[in-house]
Amino acid sequence: MGQDCKSVDLEVGLVGAEPVEELRKTDISGPSRDWRIYLAVLAIGLCAAAAIFFSAHNLVSLKLQIYYILYKKKKLMWLKTMGYSQYSGNAVEWTADADQAFQEGGLRLDNNEIVIPRKGLYFVYSQVSYAIKCHVSPNSGEPLEPVPLEHQVFRKSSAFDGPRTLLHAMRSGCERVEVEGEDNGKRWYTTINLGAVFSLHKGDRLFTKTEPLDRVDGTSGQTFFGVFAL
């Protein structure tokens, strides 16, 4: 019985040289693996924390930059439509003197075009909202096909001949269907949004073209055009 107990004791390393040596190797290698796992997890955690920190830092930095642009430099313009259906030719008529529209820092509206006061980087943006009637009378003569929508921002500059396209987007509106009776007033609504940064020169002029103009929703906040200096 005693020998059996001794044999068991030797297996767990309480007595005898060889089992103790084996246990020591196990004791050394076991915690070493644990520490490596712990350090790996810690490293991953630190990387994640750093990513979150720098993301938050970049977000704060971006907000500060936007604040500086909008409230310190004050070279910005936001235009709105003249009214619900005010347009000339194939362009929406813009205004800088109504509702929330404004112009600052030398930017001005002239002949329905934004005039750039000095050379630099500018963020140009625009949105057009559409309200489209999809139901048509059988005798209206209107084609039963998707309504094409298009909005463009152009640049005129002394650096080149003729206007050049800065921003352009197209999409299809609803497909018209014939419906008997009077117009029920229902409309299909959608928007086109444009925006990008450009290097512009002093005296450059920006203007828009929009189709179809008679479908443009010119109510407050729906359709606008603007630029600000970076």
| 87: nearest Cα among 112, 107, 110 | 112
Averaged confidence pLDDT in the chain: 72
CB 171 within 8 A of CB 115: no
Average pLDDT over residues 204-211: 95
For residue 17, the SS3 value is helix
User: Which has the minimum average pLDDT: 8-22, 57-71, 75-89, 98-112?
Assistant: 8-22
Q: Which residue has the higher pLDDT, 83 or 126?
A: 126
Phi, psi torsion values for 193, nearest 5 degrees: -115, 135
Interstrand relation of 177-178 and 188-200 (parallel, antiparallel or unpaired):
unpaired
Residue 102: which region, alpha, beta or left (left: phi > 0; alpha: psi -120 to 50)?
A: beta
Residue 23 has what pLDDT? 39
Question: Which pLDDT score, from 0 to 100, does residue 29 have?
Answer: 47
Per-residue model confidence as pLDDT tens digits over 66-95 = 555 554 555 666 666 554 445 556 888 888
pLDDT value, residue 17: 42
Q: Which residue has the higher pLDDT, 186 or 208?
A: 208
**pLDDT on residue 203:** 96
pLDDT category at 132 given cuts 50, 70, 90 is: confident
- Compute the average pLDDT of residues 8-29: 40
- By DSSP bridging, strand 102-103 and strand 94-95 are unpaired
pLDDT at 36 over 70: no
pLDDT for 187 equals 77
pLDDT at 57 over 80: no
Asked whether 115 and 94 are in contact (CB, 8 A), the reply is: no
